[in-house]
Amino acid sequence: MATLIAAQPVTQVAATDLVRDLDLTDDEVQCLLDLAGKVKRTPAKFARALAGKYLALLFEKPSLRTRLTFELSIKQLGGDSVVSEGPVDGREPLKDVARNLERWVQGIVARTFSQSTIEELAQWSSAPVINALSDLYHPCQALADVFTLRERFGELRGLKLAFVGDGNNVAHSLMLTALRLGVDFAISTPEGYAPNAEIVAQAEGLAAVSGARLQVTHDPAKAVAGASAVYTDVWTSMGKEKESAKRRKQFASHQVNGGLMALARHDAVFMHCLPAKRGEEVTDAVIESGQSIVFDQAENRLHAQKALLLMMLR
Whether 141 is a known active-site residue: answer yes
Whether 20 is a known active-site residue: answer no
Whether 265 is a known active-site residue: answer no
C-alpha dihedral (135, 151, 77, 31), degrees to nearest 10 = -80
User: Sign (positive/negative) of CA torsion 280, 285, 288, 289?
Assistant: negative
Query: Per the residue annotation, which of 65, 67, 111, 254 is the catalytic one?
Result: 111
Q: Beginning with the edge strand found earlier in the chain, give each strand of the sheet holding 107-111 in spatial order.
A: 80-85, 54-59, 107-111, 129-131
Query: Per the residue annotation, which of 141, 255, 297, 305 is the catalytic one?
Result: 141
Whether 272 is a known active-site residue: answer no
Whether 273 is a known active-site residue: answer yes
Query: Per the residue annotation, which of 21, 31, 233, 291 is the catalytic one?
Result: 233
Q: Beginning with the edge strand found earlier in the chain, give each strand of the sheet holding 214-217 in spatial order.
A: 214-217, 184-188, 160-164, 229-232, 269-272
Whether 301 is a known active-site residue: answer yes
Query: Per the residue annotation, which of 138, 150, 247, 254 is the catalytic one?
Result: 138
Question: What are the angstrom distances between the C-alpha of 291 and each of 176, 264, 277?
Answer: 24, 11, 18
* Rounded Cα–Cα distance for residues 244 and 255 (Å): 15
Q: Using DSSP bridges, classify how beta strands 80-85 and 54-59 pair: parallel, antiparallel or unpaired.
A: parallel
Query: Per the residue annotation, which of 106, 140, 272, 273 is the catalytic one?
Result: 273
Query: Per the residue annotation, which of 20, 65, 301, 303 is the catalytic one?
Result: 301
* Rounded Cα–Cα distance for residues 303 and 138 (Å): 16
Mind telling me the catalytic residues? 111, 138, 141, 233, 273, 301
